[in-house]
Amino acid sequence: MTTVPAEKKTPLIEIFWNGTILHLRPVGPNIGQREAPEIHDAVNPYFKELGKSIRAMVLDLTDVQFMSSMGLGTCIALRNAAAGVGAQAIIFGMSKELQALMLMMKIEKLYKIASTRDELNKILGK
């Protein structure tokens, strides 16, 4: 039995767990120095407790317009946490500006990228 809730909303992130997919949606519009550690602290218990039952982690950046270096570090840490439990890491809903930033920093190589809901569903096998 898990102690983490299937749905959790904080001022900075919404977390949804459906039994196989961990969906993380930062509230935005920024992920910076203040937001990054709080997001990490909110999500970390899910990886620790759910472990290998997480099949996929979706990082939904639909509401995010700006990301600092600490935000990028959080993206890497989340991907590493997903890889640590054998989960597929997927980024969904990036703006053109965030896509360019991820490409420049080569972070897009760490994730599968889904630009549309259909692409996301295809990656997730829905």
What secondary structure letter does DSSP report for 106? T
Quote the mean pLDDT of the chain: 95
CATH fold group of domain 7-120: Transcription Regulator spoIIAA (3.30.750)
pLDDT tens-digit map of 22-76: 999 999 899 999 999 999 999 999 999 999 999 999 999 999 999 999 999 999 9
Q: What percent of the chain has pLDDT over 70?
A: 99
Q: Is the pLDDT of residue 2 over 80?
A: no
Q: Render 30-62 in DSSP notation, one character per residue.
A: EE-TTHHHHHHHHHHHHHHHHGGG--EEEEE-T
Q: Is the pLDDT of residue 1 over 70?
A: no
